Amino acid sequence: MSHDYHPSWDYNLVEPGNALVRVTRACLQDIESLVELIAEDISDFSIKTYFVDLESSEAGRFAAGTSSQPVIMLDPQNLLHWQEITGAPLYEIVSDTIVHELGHALQEARGDEDLDEDEAESFAQQYKRGSDVSWLWREGPIGEIPE
């Protein structure tokens, strides 16, 4: 199922700078195998990313209602702020944010009415460790997150 949502309807689009664009492209390329795995179960699955001012402290946000073709919005200023606070490489901040927000898209695709921050974060961290994360979209709502 496709959608016609565009973040410019709700947020100000911003120019992220060349370095952040390169890092984001590298992150998206590196998670391509995850996207392909998801596409085996959710037809026409693809991710669209946009740089916006989220007007909050969030580094990223998933646009509700776009789970089959998730729209993930990234706030450049907040990504750089989180990098400064944590000391983590920008690549890691961006990748973790994209995969976390992808977790929310998969929760929505699974039929969850409320998106669970802890579950999305567990999904992102397990993916980062190389664990099988297909439980998020292949199982119904779960009470305990697998380790």
- Of the candidate CATH numbers 1.10.3470, 3.30.420, 2.40.128, 3.40.390, the domain formed by 7-137 belongs to 3.40.390
8 A C-beta contact, residue 9 and residue 73: no
The answer to whether 136 touches 110, Cβ cutoff 8 Å, is yes
Whether residue 21 is predicted with pLDDT greater than 50 in this model: the reply is yes
User: 85 is written with which tokens?
Assistant: 């606070």
Better-predicted residue by pLDDT, 8 or 136: 8
Segment 25-37 mean pLDDT: 91
Domain ranges of the chain: 7-137
Q: What confidence tens digit (pLDDT) does each residue in 55-96 have?
A: 999 999 999 999 889 999 999 999 999 999 999 999 999 999
Q: What is the pLDDT of residue 104?
A: 94
Q: Is the pTM of this model over 0.85?
A: yes
pLDDT in tens, 122-146: 999 999 998 888 877 776 543 333 4
Q: Closest Cα partner for 90 from 108, 39, 126, 98?
A: 98
- Residue 13's DSSP bridge partners are 52
Q: What is the pLDDT of residue 146?
A: 40
